[in-house]
Structure 1
Amino acid sequence: MRATKDSGISWLGEYPSDWELKKIKYCLQERVEKNNPVRTTEILSLTAKQGVIPYDQKEGGGNKPKEDVSAYRLAYPGDIVMNSMNILSGSVGLSQYFGCVSPVYYMLRPWKAIEDVRYYNYIFQTTMFQRSLFGLGNGILIKESGNGKLNTIRMRIPMDKFGGLFIPVAPIDEQKRIADFLDAKCAEIDALTADIQTQIDTLEQYKRSVITETVTKGLNPNAEMKDSGVQWIGNMPAHWDAIRGKYILRYMQKPVREDDGVITCFRDGEVTLRSNRREDGFTMSDKEIGYQGIDVGDLVVHGMDGFAGSIGISDSRGKASPVLNVLETDQNKRYIMYYLRCMAYSDVFLALATGIRVRSCDLRWNKLAELSYPVPPLNEQNAIVKHIDSVLSKADAVIADKKAQLATLDEYKKSLIFEYVTGKKEVI
């Protein structure tokens, strides 16, 4: 049994007697190297999920920021890169790249080249360490969700405060053993995670294909077909009509009530009170110019993010920005909703866009009104919606289970890292 002693630090507890407790500033030095004159135009990004990556590989896409990169700092392979604003939510990682980063990032490396930078990076990956940073930051905005996760933390931690924190320091040979062990174990966990995520992505694609197929072809594979005259629909059942939106949809502008909360249409298609999801990260309008009322059951199309699937049926009464199109129809609203989502998934909206920003398009009522919609008889619309709802419900149940598996793996990975970098367990 390994001899331990009390650290006197709440997040750390007991640690091996042959280890040291040292302030971070005596273990790691900060690299403050400006990209001026410009040595690289490769902008790096840091996320809790992806670590340090080139900006154009960031999930969700996006172009490189159009900024003067001479104001950026340089990061080298082997640097621990830390976002001083978001370390509480896990924005810290080990760089494999040479590039430049925003001035809000800190770059750290060991004072002694023989020490293993991976070991220190793993310490900073632990949730226990990250949570210990509460109270160190300037400009705090912290929201904790019901599952214990933190949302949109904007909290700049000064380097002098960060450097004054104590961390456990293993002997150099043990640092390498721990880092090698965790590299191998984390790679196994990451491979499992990637496989499960691929399964989730496949199910999400299946959901989209079911929507697209049924809202344009119907449920009867033997139905007589005809050319719809609409490029993105192709052939559709012969007894269906292709009708412009202005003949089947009505654009609504409802009054706002005094006690209305703010409604948002999210990219996953949920239309709900903002307070039901999260309120941090949104900009609130003081004057609320042009705000409109929304009722439960209203069909809503986001004028800026509809291209990405922000199309749904409201589950709440409230008010919303005029960027949301509120629509009424005598057709089955969910059928119309699914058709519009089908267009989003097929990038039809992007193809039609005049484009005012990257990966966006302006979906005002005048555009929605001129689009052609395949319109089956109402009873067939109802059957199509029932089928889609059923398929999506079953797929979502499987997806929820797989997301729970991802959460379990993530928790296991973090606990494994914590146990070894604090000496609770020993690499034999």
Structure 2
Amino acid sequence: MSGIDAWHREIPPDWTVRPLRSVADYAVSNVDKILTDEELPVRLCNYTDVYNNEKIHLGMEFMAGTATKAEISKFRLLADDVVITKDSEAWDDIGIPALVTETADDFVCGYHLAMIRPNPEKLDGAFLFRCLQSKTLRIQLELSANGITRFGIPKNAIGSLALPVPPKPIQQAIARMLDRETAEIDVLIAGKQKLLDLMVEKRRAIIAEAVMRGLDLSAPLRPSGINWLGDIPKHWEIERSRWLFSERDQRSQTGEEEMLTVSHLTGVTPRSEKDVNMFEAESTAGYKLCFAGDLAINTLWAWMGAMGTARVDGIVSPAYNVYTPGPRLLPEYVDALVRIPVFAQEVTRYSKGVWSSRLRLYPEGFFETWWPVPPLDEQQQIVEHIGTETTKIDRLRTATENSIALLKERRAALIAAAVTGQLEIPEAA
């Protein structure tokens, strides 16, 4: 018996292991239509509804669509149904379940999903939902998936899924227990996530206040005359970026330099540090050189804040723009300033494009922006202050993220142990 089937041997003696087809009906939906006058209007439960929610109820907002009477009859969702994600671009995003808790005449399972209807005499929907939440069981679906750029679960694999099937009163007791226990864990996770959100806001506020107001709160202020800056310390200067930066448009001869990426989340980082699959050109010869301290701007995503200064020498896409700060600006100060959201909003004013999501920041637009210019020694103090304060926040953030990960692991382990009979359920006894 393989490792993934080892749980079979551990189930209690009054439990059985049965294929899903013997305890439930299932169907793969093909309903995915925009609203027309030719068919009946319906509310479609779609992929994101299932992916983002454990319970599906009528209080949610659903996509409008149309379906024939036959499709509505076949794919109408009922309370106690379980819906799973059938296909996805990510292998481990398939088989994710959600439990349907309410029904309506026009409520239909949409495309990219499969609906499972338990036989009410043999299987409880809430218990099935928890079984499919367990990686121990869902991995059967993941391993059955086929595809290259998009993965899908074959219909017969759903029916062949091996399920633990205890007596129904025990199924219901397990489901009730898991509802209680996971709810308590979810409250803890939500509290910690709220703390993470507050840390993100505090981090942004610390940086924004430092680069726009300085560290001396008693310093007299004066109007900058620039909307996004407001009042600034009286001794600071204001300058257009055309007098602070020069454009660098040097090209790599070989393309062998370190490839750098420019993101609104992480600024400028080596591609080798990115844990993502990214398109790689056959040759990067002709890419733009970007040296440590240069400001690199992702032309297409500048409006989202995709810019920052490079920490190491490398190359960036020829579609990006690279600027070298002059002697009046420290690269670290530049990086801090361009990464605050209000600066991204400012450069949007100088970007060109018909659609907001297609705006591009070209050099002539960037050179129109106004910058605060503190004395160099004050810039250094600002940079050091930001480094000290954000390091404290980042340590707390890392600790909080680790505690959330542990809670999620505990939650997953609890579900897996309960649905495979490894926990004693007093209520069931």
TM-score bracket, shorter-length normalisation: 0.7 to 0.9
**1:304 aligned counterpart, secondary structure:** helix
Match of 1:266 among 263, 267, 283: 263
Distance 2:80 2:300 in 1: 40
2:83 maps to 1:88? no
Q: Output one character per residue of 1:310-345: Cα deviation in whole Å (capped at 9) or x when no partner.
A: 333334444332343322102111212222222447
Contact 1:269 1:309 (8 Å CA) reproduced: no
Q: Judging changes above 3 Å, is the alpha-carbon distance between structure 1 residues 129 and 260 closer, same or farther for their aligned structure 2 residues?
A: farther
Q: What is the identity, as a one-letter code, of the residue corresponding to 1:236?
A: I
Distance 1:391 1:53 in 2: 42
**CA displacement, residues 281-333 of structure 1 (integer Å, 9 cap, x when unaligned):** x3444576973233344322222333434333334444332343322102111
User: What is the TM-score normalised by the length of structure 1?
Assistant: 0.82
Q: Distance in 1 between matches of 2:109 and 2:364?
A: 42
1:369 counterpart residue number: 367
Deviations 1:34-60 (A, max 9, x none): 366352356641465644679xx99xx
Separation of aligned partners in 2, 1:351 and 1:317: 30
Aligned match of 1:301: 297
Which residue identity lines up with residue 15 of structure 2 in the other structure? W
- C-alpha spacing 1:380/1:358, structure 2 compared with 1 (3 Å): same
Q: Distance in 1 between matches of 2:76 and 2:204?
A: 40
Match of 1:335 in 2: 333
Amino acid paired to 1:424: Q
| Secondary structure of residue in 2 paired with 1:293 | strand
User: Does the CA-based 8 Å contact 1:304-1:360 persist in structure 2?
Assistant: yes
Match of 2:42 among 28, 33, 40: 40
Please state if 1:106 is matched with 2:114: yes
Aligned equivalent of 1:233, options 229, 248, 270: 229
**Unaligned 5+ runs, structure 1:** 1-5, 59-63, 142-153
Question: Does the C-alpha gap of structure 1 residues 260 and 102 become closer, same or farther in structure 2, counting only changes over 3 Å?
Answer: farther
State the match for 2:164 in structure 1.
Answer: 168
**Corresponding residue of 1:129:** 137
In the aligned structure 2, how far is the partner of 1:20 from the partner of 1:412? 26
Which residue of the partner structure matches residue 213 of structure 2? 217
TM-score, with length taken from structure 2? 0.82
Displacement after TM superposition at 1:424 (Å): 0.6
Provide the aligned length of Structure 1 versus Structure 2: 402
Residue of 240, 245, 249 corresponding to 1:249: 245
**Alpha carbons 2:7, 2:420 under 8 Å: kept:** no
> Does 329-338 or 28-37 show the bigger shift?
28-37
Q: Distance in 2 between matches of 1:306 and 1:97?
A: 44
Q: CA RMSD in A?
A: 3.4
**Cα distance change on mapping 1:405 and 1:303 into 2, 3 Å:** same
1:79 to 78, 81, 89: 81
The 3-state SS of whatever aligns with 2:18 is: strand
Flag structure 2 segments of 5+ consecutive residues without an equivalent: 34-38
1:286–1:79 Cα change, 3 Å: farther
8 Å CA contact retained: 1:22, 1:166: yes
Please give the per-residue CA displacement for 1:359-411, whole angstroms capped at 9, x wherever unaligned. Answer: 66433333221111111111111111111111111100000000000000000
Deviation digits for residues 73-129 of structure 1, max 9, x if unmatched?
967354322222346246332245776665222122213377321111111111222
Check conservation: 1:263, 1:320, Cα contact below 8 A.
Answer: yes
Give me the whole-angstrom Cα distance separating, in 1, the residues matched to 2:173 and 2:189.
Answer: 24
Partner of residue 147, structure 1: none
How far apart are the structure 1 equivalents of 2:371 and 2:198?
Answer: 27
Contact 1:35 1:100 in 2 (8 A): no
In proportion to residue count, which structure has more helix?
A: 2
CA contact (8 A) 2:81 2:100 kept: yes
Deviation at 1:198? 0.4
Q: What letter corresponds to residue 392 of structure 2 in structure 1?
A: K
- Secondary structure of the residue aligned to 1:374 is strand
Structure 1 counterpart of 2:264, one-letter code: R
Counterpart of 1:88, as a letter, is: D
Q: State the alpha-carbon separation in 1 of the partners of residues 354 and 83 from structure 2.
A: 33
Q: Which one-letter code corresponds to 1:278 in the other structure?
A: D
Deviations for 1:203-245, whole angstroms, at most 9, x for unmatched residues? Answer: 1100111111111111111111111011111100111122111
Is the 1:350–1:359 contact (alpha carbons within 8 Å) kept by the matching residues of 2? no
Amino acid at match of 1:319: I
SS in 1 for 2:6: coil
State the AA in 1 paired with 2:144: L
Q: Which residue of 1 aligns with 2:36?
A: none
Task: Tell me, in whole angstroms, the C-alpha distance in 2 between the residues paired with 1:184 and 1:286.
Answer: 54
Higher radius of gyration, 1 or 2: 2
Q: 2:56 and 2:313 mapped to 1: Cα distance?
A: 42
CA distance in 2, matches of 1:78, 1:325: 55
Q: Does 1:182 align with 2:178?
A: yes
After TM superposition, give the deviation of residue 265 of structure 1 in Å.
Answer: 1.9
Q: Structure 1 CA distance, aligned partners of 2:40 and 2:307?
A: 44
> Aligned partners of 2:166 and 2:153: how far apart in 1?
25
Identity %: 25
Q: Residue type of the partner of 1:410?
A: K
SS of match in other structure, 1:268? coil
Contact 2:32 2:111 in 1 (8 A): no
SS of the equivalent of 1:16 reads coil
